[in-house]
Structures are given as structure tokens and as C-alpha cells.
Structure 1
Amino acid sequence: MVSARRSFQGSLPIAAMPRLCGVLAESAGLAQYELDFGRDEYGTAYVDVRVQAPLWLVCQRTLEPFVMPVTVDSRLGLIRSEREESALPAGCEPLLVAEDDKLGLIDVIEDELLLALPLVPVNPDSELPEEVTRPPAEDVPAQVRSDNPFAVLRELKKN
């Protein structure tokens, strides 16, 4: 595929990616993908991965499901051993290829979508529930200032 500079494009059901479905609120929708194989000016084999997918996540602010559009655009350098990783150009992530030179394209797409997920998904349109929000600062009575916590240490040092 690299020598022939092959390109693939299409759509893939999100439900066909079990590891991704394990972290989603719902497995509905299609991932649109484009994969372009080739070699760069240094002779490094690569695959350009572009994926767009609407993913159902659970907002960690409201605990409600929401759709987050995820876009992936990355270049993966195809390597056969971990020693080859240091030779990859900047901006090229390593992708270890099996000895039989076979590459599961669905696995590559799924891996890239998993890496694109936020650590803590938050719906940008969400607001904190009213019972969680604090009253404005002027409504909070001023607290009496406590003694300096180091005063006790000062007294101990004198003894």
C-alpha cells in the first residue's frame, strides 16, 4: 500500500469499534475516514489518518450524554521495531507494524479516536446545576479570622 501510494476512504459504524464503544455513552453514528499511504522525502513509510466522528460522551459536569464532534488528522510513521522510532521525523507518531506487514485499518482508526477523546468530557453548552453553584461572595458572611497557625509554634519555640 505504501509503494502504490494507496488511499482509502469511507464510513465505519462506531458500533464496529468495541474498545471505543466501551467508553462511550452510546454507539450510534458513523465515522468518516480517509487513509493515505506513502513515503516522505526521507523514505519513511507513513499513513495519514483523517477521521471525523460524532461521539456520544457523558458530561462530567452534568452527567448527561452529549454529542462531541471529534476530528483526527495525524501522520503515523510505519515502523517494524521500536528502534526505528527515533528516526521518525518530527510530527510523525510511530505505528508498530506486525512482522507479516498486515495492518488492521479499523484498529488504526479506533486507536486514533480513542487518543482524541478528552480525559474529562464536558459539554461546552452545559451549566452547573443550581444546587451545586455557590451564592455570590457578598451573600456569604465574613468569617472571623482565626489566629495565625504559626503562633502556636512561636510559643513552643520560646519554651
Structure 2
Amino acid sequence: MVSARRSFQGSLPIAAMPRLCEVLADDAGLATYELDFGRDEYGTAYVDVRVQAPLWLVCQRTLEPFVMPVTVDSRLGLIRSEREESALPAGCEPLLVAEDDKLNPIDVIEDELLLALPLVPVNPDSELPEEVTRPPAEEVPAQERSDNPFAVLRELKKN
């Protein structure tokens, strides 16, 4: 693929990516992708990964599901051992390739989508619940509270 500078494009059901589905609210939708293989000016083998997918996440502010459009555009340097990682040019993330030089494109796409997910998903259109935004009720002074646990102590102190 690298020597031939092959390119692939298409769409993939989000449901076909089981690790990604574990963190989603719903597995509906399609991920459109482009994979471009090649070598850079230093001879480093790479794959450019571009993916767009509407992912269903659970908003951590409202706990309601929402669709977050995710876009990935990254260059992955293809390496065979971790020692080769330091030789990768800046802006090129390492991708460890098996000894048989085979690469599963679905796994690459799924990994990149997982890395693009926010740690705490929040729907930008959501509002805080009313109980959080409501101003606190006026504090009643301790002497006026009928259920003050220290009322007995106050009476003892007066005697």
C-alpha cells in the first residue's frame, strides 16, 4: 500500500466498531473515511487518516444523549518497533504495524475516533438544570430554626 501510494475511501457503519460502541449512547450512523498511504521526503512510511462521524454521546451536564460531529485528520507513521518512534517527524503519530506488515483499516479508524472523543462530553446547546442555576434559598438564622440540634445546649448554658 505504501509503495503504491494507495488511497481508500468509503463509509463504515459505526456499529461495526465494537470498542467505540461501548462508550457511545447509540451506534447509529456512518463514518466516512479516507486513508492515504505513502512515504514522506525522509522515506518514512505513513498513512493519512481522515474520518468524519456523527457520534451519539451522553452529555455529562444533562445526562441526555446528543450527536457530536467528530472530525479526524491525522498522519500516522508506520513503525515496526517502538525504537523507530523517535525517528518520526514532528506531527506524525506512531502506529505500530504487526510483523506481517498487515494493517486492519477498521481498527485504525476506530482507534482514531476513540482518541478524538472528549474526556467529558458536554452538549454545547445544553443548559444547566434549574436546581443548579436557582439561587440558594435564604438562610434562616440558627436561633429561628425549630430543628436546631444545639437548642438543648443553649438552654443548658443559660442555667
- Structure 1 62/78 Cα, relative in aligned 2: closer, same or farther at 3 Å? same
The Cα of 1:134 is off from its aligned counterpart by 4.0
8 Å CA contact 2:33–2:51 kept in 1: the answer is yes
- The TM-score, its normalising length taken from structure 2, stands at 0.85
Q: Distance in 1 between matches of 2:123 and 2:148?
A: 42
Q: Distance in 2 between matches of 1:133 and 1:112?
A: 36
- 1:41 maps to 41
8 Å CA contact 2:142–2:148 kept in 1: the answer is no
Q: 5 Å matches for 1:86-125? A: 86-125=86-125
Compare 82-91 and 141-150 and name the one that shifted more. Answer: 141-150
- Structure 1 14/145 Cα, relative in aligned 2: closer, same or farther at 3 Å? same
Say how many residue pairs are matched: 159
- Structure 1 154/26 Cα, relative in aligned 2: closer, same or farther at 3 Å? same
Q: Distance in 1 between matches of 2:155 and 2:130?
A: 46
Identity of aligned residues (%): 95
- Unaligned stretches of 5+ in structure 1? none
- Unaligned stretches of 5+ in structure 2? none
Q: Distance in 2 between matches of 1:10 and 1:71?
A: 15
Q: Distance in 2 between matches of 1:128 and 1:17?
A: 32
Alignment deviations for residues 47-78 of structure 1 (CA, whole Å, 9 cap, x no partner):
00000000000000000000000000000000
Structure whose alpha-carbon radius of gyration is higher? 2
The alignment's C-alpha RMSD in Å is: 5.9
- What secondary structure, in the 3-state scheme, does the structure 1 residue paired with 2:3 have? coil
- Structure 1 97/119 Cα, relative in aligned 2: closer, same or farther at 3 Å? same
8 Å CA contact 2:15–2:28 kept in 1: the answer is yes
The Cα of 1:142 is off from its aligned counterpart by 14
Query: Moved runs in structure 1, 4+ residues, more than 6 A?
Result: 136-159
Compare 33-42 and 146-155 and name the one that shifted more. Answer: 146-155
- Structure 1 148/16 Cα, relative in aligned 2: closer, same or farther at 3 Å? same
Alignment deviations for residues 13-41 of structure 1 (CA, whole Å, 9 cap, x no partner):
00000000000000000000000000000
The Cα of 1:131 is off from its aligned counterpart by 1.2
- What secondary structure, in the 3-state scheme, does the structure 1 residue paired with 2:10 have? strand
- Structure 1 2/132 Cα, relative in aligned 2: closer, same or farther at 3 Å? same
- Structure 1 148/102 Cα, relative in aligned 2: closer, same or farther at 3 Å? farther
The Cα of 1:135 is off from its aligned counterpart by 1.4
